[in-house]
Chains A and B, each alone.
Chain A
Amino acid sequence: MDTITQETTCILALVATLMPLLSFAGILLVPGRTDRGAFFSILNISFSLLLSVLVFIKVWDQPVVHQQLEWFTIGNWHFKAGILINNLSALMLLLISLIAALVHIYSLKYMEGDPYLFRYWAYLGLFCFSMFGLVITDSLLLLYMFWELVGFSSYLLIGFWFTRKAAVQANKKAFIMNRLGDLGFLTGIMIIFTQFQTLDISLLFSEGGFVSHATIQNGFWVFSSNKMPDIWLTIAGLAFFFGAAAKSAQFPLHTWLPDAMEGPTSVSSLIHAATMVAAGVFLLGRIYPIFNSEVLLVIAVIGAFTAFMAATIALVQNDIKRILAFSTISQLGFMMLAMGVGAYGSAIFHLITHAFFKCLLFLSAGAVIHEMHHLKEKYKLDIDHQDIRLMGGLRKFMPLTFITMLLAALALIGIPGTSGYLSKDAILIQAFEWSEGQAGFWKVIPYSALITSWLTAFYISRLIFKVFFGRLRLNDICGQTFSLHEAPKIMTYVLVALATFCLFPFFSFNPLHYEHSWIIEGLNVVSNIGRVNIYHTLIPAAVNLFAVLIIYLSFTWYVKRGKSPDLSNSALFRFAENQWYFDKIYQNSFVNGILLLSRSVFAFDKAVVDGFVNLLGRATVLIAGLSQWLDRRVVDGVVNGAGSVTKIIGNFARHFQTGRLQHYLVTMLLIVLSFFIIKYFSQAI
């Protein structure tokens, strides 16, 4: 590709990035009604989508597009800013703009009637802008800046209903958790800069880039003239992963994501299911060459653990959005696992497919919540409109929502014919292949992933059955017969559009073999894992057979018999219901610890520092008193004495100044006479 088309592509990408920023600025700066901005932002995001499609067509399977300009200079270091679009970023650009556009359209109806809606549109614009910027930038520093912006706009959107206390708590929590992760990211950037003296992603991480030239020699990490102990390489990898873990809600920084469900559902679907949480995975993909085998192992372990943990928690939740939130954490764990086992392409592939079906799940759930909320408002019921225990039988009222959600659920489980099957099986198969080359204990990892996928099948079918099958349990509780409506047309259009993306033809013409997917081929990763043929047939078959069994089990529990075995008193159930007590542990250890520390510091401050200051103050007061006494008695005494003397003299002199002419005249004549007499006597003498 020659330079001119490169520039054109870059400009297209840049414009696509800036359009949401335009809607952000435009909506905030132009005054108007509080619900303004909807069509403006939809127009802008649609334009972005169009441009993204163009960019994608130009870049996919073509040489990398890279343009840069001098940004600023410090000493001898020239920092450059530019646009780097390879297959990964083009794909992300397309994904984000597509889902963002659909969510924008969905929000048109979903958010209708909310006061101060313009803030919602403005924040969405800011978020999309930072997300686009994050995927197309070529500098780690800029990437970090957009990373922060993404965190900030997410903070704004989680707290959109800032009058709710829970929302404020949630956005604070998310912000702090992300800040911790940012610390890791920043550490990684600093290590990279120290070693390579540049932050240019294409120089660092492209094929034959600096990172691949750096070698390990005698326990040192060497690159040209720089060298540092090789532990720093591991630390850098871990630091980057820590940053990614915060953004992608991995253990131990996962607790913010379920709380972030306090935001509007459309926001949850866009940010906390499809795009922002994927930023962590994207970051790992961008800087993949930096990770050495130890770090990758850590990533794999943490990914597998997070996936398993979140799936168990999702089993017992009753809030429809929380189930999906834990499901998201679990799926992100899958992606991390894939990254860890070296299945780079599969991770990204799963990222893409997951984005669509999880977004769809959330939007369908949003439709259900929307209708339940209407019901609640209409009859003034005191219920939690997100509780699945109150739902049931919604299939009859909302058939379209039911069908789309079912499709998404199937994709999540990984039933053949859906996109999820391709990506999930890819991860599982590659995990097993990877474990072939590992020592005994690490063989647990693929098996835990396998179990996790079955747990997934259970919790999502539980959700579907509880919400859409059986009878509306709300009727039993309130003793009334309610009826619901299908979601508004615009919302269902979006659902249908997303549902089509859950099907296999969009990703591979072969519904059974992930290796033929164009995304995997396009990402073109040389896998160093030996292909073990037996897994490619055994695993999908095992997974799916068992998954179907599990679905049937939940069907009998939740639909046929209408009641499930009551496990709510068992320790495991409570353990899962309380989300493995992570929140409590954090609360007790970190929050309370910090509070304790603050209190002791406060006490120290009060007793010692304040005491000293007070002592100083008292000493000063004493000295001041002394000086006041001195001042009053001695200095003032002198001054007052002078004043009194003057006053006495003045009073004396005043007697001559009576204002009476005759007295003046007397005085005058007396003086004249005295002169006369003196004159004469002096003459006489």
Chain B
Amino acid sequence: MFDTSLTLRDLMFLAEGAGVTILVTAISVVIGTLLGILFGVIRTQLGPVLSAPLTFVLDIFRSVPLLIQLVLGNAFVGMVLQIQISGFTVACMVLSLYTSAYCAEIVRGGIEAVPETTRRAARSLGMTWGQDMRYIVMPLATRVALPSWIGLALGVMKDSALVYVVQVTELLKSTQILITRLQEPLFLLLICGAFYFIISFPLARFGGYLERRWSND
């Protein structure tokens, strides 16, 4: 029924692309999350006025198409700064900052969801700011933030399909290369779509489960 010239070697080629997609996503999500937590905490600590410059910069990453961020990041690093780094590195850098901008919002939302009174109670028990953050804010904020964070991580994986623009051959690009040679667009696109779905769907469900579970108590 499926008359295809797709060989095992081509499947390996697709798998390689999938590996790149996962690698770019993993690196960007880890770095982006760490930066995002840092930015989020800074924003809540400084208040809206003092943190305005940071807010502005992070806003840019959420207001300009990722495709343009990648093209510009690539052109800036190479043409203006004249630093020689690979497209893979540029992709990870831009995606990390992009992730951090969204993550900072999630972290801020999480921290602000912890009632002020709870935190004051902690401080009046003699806890330091650090202890308050570590033992009171973090556990409570994580419950609010984790489901959104899972959504963000999956979003980054899907958005990583755009890094082809800086010459990184990820899954969708590998698929297009095979379409060029085999001319079986629908079949190959379905394989590609299925791959994203298989990774994304269970994790998205898990996020939804956490959200439901934690919002009940």
The answer to whether A and B belong to the same complex is no
